[in-house]
Amino acid sequence: MANLQIVPAGKNVEAQYVEMKVPLYSYGCEKKVKKALSHRRGIHSVHVDYKMQKVTVWGICNKDDVLATIRKKRREARFWEQAEPEAAEGKVEDEMAVAKASRLAAAKGHRLRLSWKKLFPL
């Protein structure tokens, strides 16, 4: 009885899926994340996909509270946002073009500077 969550009767509360991208470095990390989430109230199941670095939680829970719980174990955790691959490729190409243009502008403005490491960081 102590593990039951009290839900107001006036609201229609349904279980929801929460998908997060979590960096997992070993199977020990996977176990740590599963254990941390399985002890929370209202969570029915936790699925960890090690290859995709994805954690899926199903239950009656607040998304932000679930993310906060995972961030206690893995600080780089964030919500899963699947963008279309075509849009992602175009975005990467745009970022590379902007970076190249900014480097060229920096090189033209600082011709006398001897420190190339500051102009072209890796």
Examine residue 93 and state whether it is found in any structural domain, yes or no: yes
User: pLDDT per residue over 5-34, tens digit each?
Assistant: 555 555 667 888 999 999 988 888 889 999
Domain that residue 114 falls in: 85-119
Whole-angstrom distance, CA of residue 41 vs CA of residue 38: 8
Q: Based on the fold, state whether residues 102 and 55 are members of the same structural domain.
A: no
Q: Based on the fold, state whether residues 75 and 89 are members of the same structural domain.
A: no
Examine residue 38 and state whether it is found in any structural domain, yes or no: yes
Question: Tokens for 114?
Answer: 């001897």
Examine residue 8 and state whether it is found in any structural domain, yes or no: no
User: pLDDT per residue over 81-100, tens digit each?
Assistant: 854 445 555 566 677 777 76
Residue 39: count of CB within 10 angstroms of its CB:
10
Please give the tally of structural domains in the chain: 2
The CATH number of the domain holding residue 57 is: 3.30.70.100
Q: Based on the fold, state whether residues 73 and 91 are members of the same structural domain.
A: no
